[in-house]
Amino acid sequence: MELALNGARIVVLGSNSFGGSSLISRLLSDGADVIGINRSPEGSMMFLQHRWPMSPGKYSFLQADLNKNLPKIAEIIHRFQPSVLFDFAGQGMVAESWEHPDQWYTTNIVAKVRLHQALLECQSMRRYIRVSTPEVYGTQSSAACESWNFNPSTPYAVSHAAIDMSLRAYHQRYGFPVVFTRFANFYGPGQQLYRLIPKAIICGLTNRRLPLHGGGTAVRAFIYGSDVADGLVKAMNFGRAGEVYHFSPHKFWTILQVVEAVSEHLAIDLDALISMADDRPSKDHAYLMDSQRARSELGWDSRVDLSTGIESTANWVRRNLAEISSLPLHYIHKV
């Protein structure tokens, strides 16, 4: 299925998230008609990439919670008749999921199953793009391919694995048009301040210390916002329903190496930037994904390297430093 984005009707759940905003910005630039749905209000323009440029597309926003406002969300979707729905919605954060696991299961599993049941009546929907995570596989010693068994180790990862399995059952039973996508760690201008790369930059520019949990030995890959958006558009156009696609750069980094790259860009001493902290509970050591399938079947590739991405993220922080300096750098849990 290849969809002409100019005039296409698309719904994005979790529209205020960094990934959601990155995607909407791309969709609007291509002329799509987009409804964004998020449980929180839009907040500062600093985080809303899709509100920055003038673009030919149309955008409207609905503040609604899947747990509390599902009938309203379903009504809006059915009335709008989208051809595609992108799903970023859900309770995020790994370590915090141990504190209230029931909230992660309620939002990421139960509310989603109710949504999917309601969407069975949406005859216009040709693709449901599920944005999942490599954490469903647990820690890895080699790059995971799409057929790997799930081995989640946190309530957050369990909730993602469970809804992925439910969606697979819906695809097998009803032909639900889901395409599964799993991404390396997002980053870029407009990202939430408690995430690693913006937080490291902010600490470096404001003479604060960045806690380095477990000494920063965990291994991750990092993918820039525009590469995320490009991967999702390609999954929409060329991905096969019921199939899984991984999106990751070839290079993997330890958290310490990423922070070193930030300190080098800012020309500050690493020892002045970091402080050692205990590791988070049950943190997986490495998330490694093989993305060859997305490259060969979808024609996707990561274009922004980490050095370039850090530079553009640092420029965004500098432009907004006055406002950023008044905001917390830690995650605030919302029930």
Q: How many CA atoms lie within 13 A of 113 on its CB side?
A: 12
For residues 136 and 156, give the distance between their C-alpha atoms in angstroms, rounded to a whole number. 9
Do 177 and 272 fall into the same domain? no
- Is 335 part of a structural domain of the chain? no
317 falls within a domain: yes
Neighbours of 140 (CB within 10 A): 17
pLDDT reported for residue 293: 98
Question: What is the C-alpha to C-alpha distance for residues 225 and 185, in angstroms, rounded to an integer?
Answer: 10
Residues 88 and 230 in one domain: yes
Q: Taking a C-beta distance cutoff of 8 angstroms, is the pair 120, 265 a contact? A: no
Same domain (yes/no): 210, 301: yes
236 & 320 share domain:
no
Residues 209 and 237 in one domain: no
Range of the domain at 293: 191-220+251-324
- 58-63/33-38 β-pairing: parallel
Give CA torsion, residues 230, 236, 237, 241, to 10 deg.
140
Cross-strand pairs, 210: 274
pLDDT score of 44: 93
CA–CA separation, 323 vs 295, rounded Å? Answer: 39
Q: pLDDT tens digit string along 227-274?
A: 999 999 999 999 999 999 999 999 999 999 999 999 999 999 999 999
28, 136, 183, 235 from 146: Cα distances, Å: 30, 11, 12, 14
CATH classification of the domain holding 202 = 3.90.25.10
Same domain for 95 and 232?
yes
The token duo for 243 is 């199939």
For residue 147, which phi and psi values (nearest 5 degrees)? -90, 0
Find tokens 């525009």 and name the residue.
226
**The pLDDT of residue 224 is above 90:** yes
**234/299 same-domain check:** no
CA distance to 60, 120, 172, 270, 293, per residue, from 81 (Å): 14, 13, 23, 52, 31
pLDDT at residue 282 is higher than 80 = no
**Same-domain status, 53 and 151:** yes
239 and 204 assigned to the same domain = no
115 in any annotated domain: yes
- In this structure, are strands 253-254 and 244-247 parallel, antiparallel, or unpaired? unpaired
Residue 140 — pLDDT band, cuts 50, 70, 90?
confident
Roughly how many angstroms between the first and final C-alpha of the chain, as a whole number?
A: 38
pLDDT at 83: 97
Distance of CA 53 to the CA centre of its chain: 21
3-state secondary structure of 202: helix
Asked whether residue 182 is domain-assigned, the answer is yes
The answer to whether residue 123 is domain-embedded is yes
CATH code for position 147 = 3.40.50.720
Domain check: are 195 and 144 in the same one? no
Whole-model pTM? Answer: 0.95
How many structural domains does the chain have? 2
- Tell me whether residue 147 is in a domain: yes
Same domain, 177 and 110: yes
Q: Are residues 107 and 210 in the same domain?
A: no
Structural domain contains residue 216? yes
Tell me whether residue 334 is in a domain: no
